[in-house]
Structure 1
Amino acid sequence: MGVSQWIKNYERPKAGREIREIYLSEVVVARVEASGLGILRDCFTTGLDDNLLSAFIERWHPDTNTFHMPFGGISIMLHDVQHILGIPVTGERSDDRVNAQLLPLFDSLDRVGSYAWCAACLAYLYLQLGTASRRDGTGVSGCLPLLQAWIYEYFPKFQPGAGFFLEDRPLIETWDRLPRAKGDSQTFQMYRHSLDDLSSEHV
């Protein structure tokens, strides 16, 4: 399978802050804040390490929802999502799917703050990882910045640099603000070999 095949369909806006300034009216900002997701508005502004993510995705086992490592299985858990993204863990069911373009037509979103955003985020990421890890997988969606931050937290050898803790901000910002080095097929193979050599001492 080609390098970064799973990541090719995921494109992050290159001018995230400018886009927010143009499109987020006061009404929209208020609704985002009420949802409990407002803390994430200034996150996800830098790039993804496609090679690193691809190396992890090919180790995903959908039957167990774990990454298969030499020392055993390991996975993103609900408390990891809350710790990294800083969004609500508990709440009501949030499995109703609605096209985002229809949201302005809703008369009230007062209950959206009670949704179980952590569970919804994790469930969708599990689903996407399962699809992407198949032989015929051609792309991946879901909250890939979460996956990348989780890798940095649990596998320090892959960190792009020294992170810095921001008080009262989600942990994702610790890693989201660091630059990413551009990689190639050799970088992908390096990550593969590094994962092959991992032991429990590296986690």
Structure 2
Amino acid sequence: MKEGPDIARIGMLFGDPARANMLTALMGGQALTATELAQAAGVTVQTASSHLSKLEEGGILAQRKQGRHRYFTLADAAAGTLLENIMGFAASRGHLRHRPGPKDPALRKARVCYDHLAGDYGVRMLDSFVARGAIESDGENLAVTEDGRAELGALGIDVASLTSNRRPLCKSCLDWSERRSHLAGTLGKALLAHFLENGWALRSSESRAVLFTPDGERKFLSLFPAG
């Protein structure tokens, strides 16, 4: 028997189309019921429950109970990063599912990737930070500079408080639609929260899209000009 990590099991968990659809639905960072996930996967609730049990046993999902209701989320940020990386890898190899519709442009523009901003605006934000020296990048690793700490502090984001978390402060995450990196980590999470809490944007009720208000978009584009 071969020793080492069982990547075959992980591959099996992600490889089923119904499970893949449920996991993609959970990339929005919200807790969803088995019924909602069944609808996302296009299967019955009974079938969805079987899939969810396998994903939970495999450490991909976590379950939360509230009263008589059960909700499911991705187990942690590592599960979200793994899923986004798989999506990025699939896109880079041309393995794309085409579902034309009005939601697609919005998802490509700005969307939630587990708990941070992805899409064109997510890539634009990281590029802008790097271009003006707020974040240093060697292609893989990211680090906030002293100038960056001051700039983020002016936005009301205390970088020091984010570094106490077990998660990385800032991390590059391959964006499946842009084929380039956007900003993840606790800083990426804090920035998305800043945009939502200050009314710059809101979450779509129908997808993972992040919808910027006209005023919020002006502020975002002013803060993160194109390179």
| More strand as a share of residues | 2
**With structure 2 as the length reference, what TM-score do the two structures score?**
0.27
> Using CA pairs below 8 Å that are at least 6 residues apart, which structure has the higher relative contact order?
1
